[in-house]
């Protein structure tokens, strides 16, 4: 399993990965530990989404500006890919801290939720 998770948004390919440096910077900006953030991940604020995606991308583009990030977020939202970006960042986080098995658990949980939310006929 690859530890870089990608999302294609129009002509742009986003590469999500957490490193020690980006995880530490995320904790400092968010004011919470990653385990505390994980607890509130089911109902993140817009600031949570922005920060989590930012630090998932920052390893690749250390000079990512706030304007560039907001453009990426707007583009992802307009393309219907914002949730996919957030999920890719979450998988990158899970892989960094807990390894490939954690990503498999996330994928299994997502499939279960999607199946539960399918309309019945």
62 within domain boundaries: yes
Q: What is the pLDDT of residues 4-39, one digit of tens each?
A: 999 999 999 999 999 999 989 888 888 877 777 777
121 within domain boundaries: no
21 within domain boundaries: yes
83 within domain boundaries: yes
Work out how many domains the chain is built from and give that number. 1
Domain limits at 92?
5-116
Q: Can you tell me whether residue 9 is helix, strand or coil? A: strand
Tokens of 94: 């899970």
29 within domain boundaries: yes
> What whole-number distance in Å separates Cα of residue 117 and Cα of residue 121?
12
For residue 16, give the DSSP letter.
E
Q: Phi and psi (nearest 5°) for 76?
A: -65, -45
94 within domain boundaries: yes
Q: Phi and psi (nearest 5°) for 26?
A: -60, -50
Q: What is the pLDDT of residues 66-78, one digit of tens each?
A: 999 999 999 999 9
> What whole-number distance in Å separates Cα of residue 29 and Cα of residue 81?
24
18 within domain boundaries: yes
């Amino acid at each position: 399993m690859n530890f870089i998770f990608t999302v294609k948004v129009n002509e742009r390919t986003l590469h999500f990965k957490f490193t020690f440096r980006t995880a530490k910077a995320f904790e400092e900006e968010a004011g919470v530990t990653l385990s505390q953030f994980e607890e509130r991940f089911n109902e993140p604020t817009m600031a949570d989404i922005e920060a989590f995606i930012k630090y998932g991308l920052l390893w690749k583009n250390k000079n990512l500006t706030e304007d560039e990030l907001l453009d990426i977020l707007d583009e992802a939202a307009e393309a219907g890919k914002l949730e996919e970006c957030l999920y890719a960042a979450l998988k990158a986080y899970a892989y960094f801290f807990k390894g490939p098995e954690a990503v498999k658990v996330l994928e299994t949980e997502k499939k279960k939720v999607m199946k539960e939310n399918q309309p019945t006929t």
